[in-house]
Amino acid sequence: MQTTASPIAAWLALTAAFCLPASLGLAQEPASPIPEGFLVKEDQELPADWAARESAGFVIVNPVDGAELCWIPPGEFLMGSTEQERLWALRNDAGDRWVRGEAPQHKVKLSGFWMYRYEVTNAQFRLLFPEHRSGACDAISVDGDDCPVAWVNFYQVEAYCRWAGVVLPTEAQWEYACRAGTRTMFWWGDSLEDAGKYANMADSAAHEIWPQWLVFPTTDGYPAASPVGSFEPNAFGLYDMLGNAWEWCADWYSAYYYRISPELDPPGPDYGNERVVRGASWDNFPGNSRCAYRLHYTRDTRAVYLGFRAALPAAVPVRPQ
């Protein structure tokens, strides 16, 4: 069995590291959750209440890689899926051993945190690893500078996060940020036909090249990876939370963790053999592209559809009310 330090340890260490107030130039009020050294994007007013839902989407910039981060206010949500949704997924070719891990649906409360607005791109990843190439699928390249980085394993992602001064989101943070207050199968609702407005999934464009694939009954114009931010954002201001690339999360995977998960800021299991990945990609069909769908890989796995986005703890705690 593989073991390593709990993801929550890294999260707490970063929280402590960012607890000093930022200078006025980079800045914030002393009680602000903005980490020291991170820049406030222009033409924004500081939220009057960082715990209010209206504060969602306030943007700061990481000076290391130029990434924008959105503020995700504290709150609670129902994590996982209902029995009705799981039955729908099974009827739509999502395998039982995957769907089983979405139960039981349970209440989770989360403190406020920061999340990368976009998936990390090839161009950003090449700032640290200049020779990196994300590759291609049947000669369809996913290596464009503004496409999400792919062909990265968990160890490479950890190295990038250390370099950029960020961390991976926990699985609970990821699903909360993806849903952005919704309870439907997809963050835009339950419509399969609307997917082409909001996410890069397997669709008619992909079906022309891979006719054997199951696809959404829509078109998004991209058979494989698209430039990040090509579709509409969710209510928290985040792009591509579903589709484009699967995203590594900090948690070890357990099919049974939802049964024992703490209600407040669940850190995931203490150990395991595989890490959670979330969010589906450009080659995924409806049953396995939902907000609640969980996948997991060993830490050395790389694939042309597997990337990540980073997160960051608040400089001062902003707890759910």
Average pLDDT over residues 286-315: 97
Contacts of 207 (CB under 8 A, 6+ apart): 213, 215
The pLDDT score that the predictor gives to residue 29 is 45
Task: Check residue 229 and give left, alpha or beta (phi > 0: left; psi -120 to 50: alpha).
Answer: left
Average pLDDT over residues 10-34: 51
The pLDDT score that the predictor gives to residue 6 is 52
The pLDDT score that the predictor gives to residue 11 is 52
Question: Is 285 contained in some domain?
Answer: yes
Average pLDDT over residues 225-251: 98
Residue 209 above 80 pLDDT? Answer: yes
Average pLDDT over residues 256-274: 98
Tokens representing residue 320 in the block: 């759910």
Residue 245 above 90 pLDDT? Answer: yes
The pLDDT score that the predictor gives to residue 36 is 95
CA 259 – CA 54 distance, rounded (Å): 32
Contacts of 217 (CB under 8 A, 6+ apart): 192, 193, 204
Domains contained in the chain, number: 1
The residue assigned the tokens 């739509």 is: 92
Average pLDDT over residues 43-52: 96
Question: Is 320 contained in some domain?
Answer: no
Please write the tens of the pLDDT for every residue from 169-192.
999 999 999 999 999 999 999 999
Question: Is 319 contained in some domain?
Answer: no
Query: In the predicted model, what is the mean pLDDT of the chain?
Result: 92
Residue 14 above 60 pLDDT? Answer: no
Say what the pTM is.
0.91
Range of the domain at 203: 7-313
Distance from the first to the final alpha carbon of the chain: 39
Residue 100 above 70 pLDDT? Answer: yes
The pLDDT score that the predictor gives to residue 220 is 93
Cross-strand bridge partners of residue 114: 71, 312
Residue 18 above 50 pLDDT? Answer: no
Question: Is 202 contained in some domain?
Answer: yes
Residue 89 above 70 pLDDT? Answer: yes
Question: Is 2 contained in some domain?
Answer: no
The pLDDT score that the predictor gives to residue 154 is 98
Question: Is 321 contained in some domain?
Answer: no
The residue assigned the tokens 């700061």 is: 60
- Which pLDDT band, with edges at 50, 70 and 90, does 195 fall under? very high
Please write the tens of the pLDDT for every residue from 147-164.
999 999 999 999 999 999
Residue 281 above 70 pLDDT? Answer: yes
Residue 303 above 90 pLDDT? Answer: yes
Average pLDDT over residues 224-244: 98
Poorest-confidence range of 23-37, 236-250, 263-277, 306-320? 23-37
Count, residues in the chain: 321
Q: Are 249 and 161 in contact (CB under 8 A)?
A: no
The pLDDT score that the predictor gives to residue 25 is 40
CATH number of the domain where residue 251 is located: 3.90.1580.10
CA 227 – CA 239 distance, rounded (Å): 11
